[in-house]
């Protein structure tokens, strides 16, 4: 194993590194002294839901209307077909509108309980409750 001799260039590099480290510490200390605390940022408010036009209903609203008119339990694919035929609601190019409606109706029946506009009466079938 050979040892390398230290040259004056190596000593200069070492000194330069030490000076830059001291300068960085001094700069940081000065910045800490003059740093003005900024007030905490206010939490962002969620964007408001887009306003629906008065003559455009949601799929869930249209489904409850169809269930009230029919007076009998219906499945989600049946509801989608009737809603489109009557012009209440049509899918905005969704691939699975029946699945989306099923999820919305199940969620409302579960979260609202007795005040829900729909209730599940069988496997994949919903009925209106008469609550509006």
Burial 62-91 (b: 16+ CB within 10 A, else e): bbbbbbeeeeebbbbebbbebbeeeebbee
Identify the pLDDT of residue 1: 55
Global confidence as pTM:
0.57
Domain spans, the chain? 59-128
Identify the pLDDT of residue 24: 72
Identify the pLDDT of residue 92: 87
Helices (H), the chain: 8-34, 59-70, 76-86, 97-112
Identify the pLDDT of residue 60: 94
Identify the pLDDT of residue 129: 87
Q: What is the mean pLDDT of each run of 10 residues along the chain (132 residues)?
A: 67 70 70 63 68 74 94 95 93 92 94 92 91 64
Average pLDDT, the chain: 82
């Amino acid at each position: 194993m050979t040892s390398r001799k230290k040259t004056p260039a190596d000593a200069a590099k070492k000194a330069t590194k030490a000076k830059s480290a001291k300068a960085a510490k001094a700069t940081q200390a000065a910045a800490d002294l003059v740093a003005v605390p900024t007030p905490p940022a206010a939490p962002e408010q969620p964007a408001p839901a887009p306003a629906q036009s008065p003559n455009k209903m949601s799929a869930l609203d249209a489904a409850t209307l169809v269930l009230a008119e029919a007076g009998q339990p219906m499945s989600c694919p049946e509801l989608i077909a009737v809603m489109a035929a009557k012009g209440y609601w049509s899918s905005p190019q969704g691939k699975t509108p029946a699945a989306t409606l099923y999820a919305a109706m199940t969620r409302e029946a579960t979260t609202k309980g007795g005040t829900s506009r729909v209730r599940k009466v069988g496997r994949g079938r919903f009925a209106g409750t008469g609550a509006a």
